[in-house]
Amino acid sequence: AVQHPLWPEVDRVVKQQVTMAKMGIGECGTGWQLFAEDGEMKMYRREEEVDGMVVDPLKAVHVVKGITGHEVCNYFFNPKYRYDWETTLEHMTVLETISDDTMVFLQTHKRIWPASQRDVVFWSHMRKLPNGQDRDGPDMWTVVNNSTESSEHPANAGKCVRIYLTVCLLCQTRVHPPKDGTPISRDNVSCKITYCSVVNPGGWAPASVLRAVYKREYPKFLKRFTAYVVNQTKNQPILF
């Protein structure tokens, strides 16, 4: 089959992002600060600025009972669910469907006063990862979102400031088989979720405003998204 021009970049960025997401906070270099904690969810960020703009890398780890990594990645990747869980989304357009696991999106996010409204163009790729370590262990699933250009939607041509982001959602399913040999139910599965993101806000926005937005929005986003997946899957057969 003929390769799509984006494919080499998709493959390279996915491998690079998954490698980083697998690293523990301690291995990810210094300067990570825990800025939000809620039950099993822990959110870390590193304060970084590029040309005076806040580009704080974020890394969140969460363990959610009753869902699998395949299910989490399906609900994160598939555009038909996005308006249900992405509260800051104003509009989403699928610019290109490259394959059943790779799409290009244009999204405008709700304006955060006093910053101007933002939009983003990114490719999104979902992939099952071979479980290198223990053969019989459940697979890992990932979705990587990475900013890309669009000739039909040039940056900063309209009212929105174009942002640039790289996001990696890495999911590892855990199965705790019941002692008495009864069939596996949702009580016997859980998913370890690692969410990494680096967002360049594009144009200038006050560091204090951006950091306040991230501090408020990221915990809300991950809690709302995972609760949504639990609710959507609770009466469905488990998708490993």
Binding site for ligand B8X (CB under 6 A): 86, 88-89, 107, 109, 115, 118, 120, 145, 163, 165, 167, 197, 199, 201, 205, 210, 213-214, 217-218, 221
**Residue with nearest beta carbon to ligand B8X:** 88
8 Å CB contact between 58 and 186: no
In the complex, minimum distance from the CB of residue 109 to ligand B8X, in angstroms, rounded to a whole number:
4
Among 75, 79, 59, 54, residue whose Cα is nearest residue 204: 54
C-alpha 52, offset from chain centre: 25
8 Å CB contact between 115 and 201: yes
Indicate the residue among 60 and 67 with the shorter CB distance to ligand B8X. Answer: 60
In the complex, minimum distance from the CB of residue 209 to ligand B8X, in angstroms, rounded to a whole number:
8
Indicate the residue among 35 and 221 with the shorter CB distance to ligand B8X. Answer: 221
Indicate the residue among 160 and 189 with the shorter CB distance to ligand B8X. Answer: 160
Which residues make Cβ contacts (< 8 Å) with residue 126, sequence separation at least 6?
Answer: 73, 74, 77, 101, 102, 141, 142, 143
In the complex, minimum distance from the CB of residue 88 to ligand B8X, in angstroms, rounded to a whole number:
3
Indicate the residue among 79 and 240 with the shorter CB distance to ligand B8X. Answer: 79
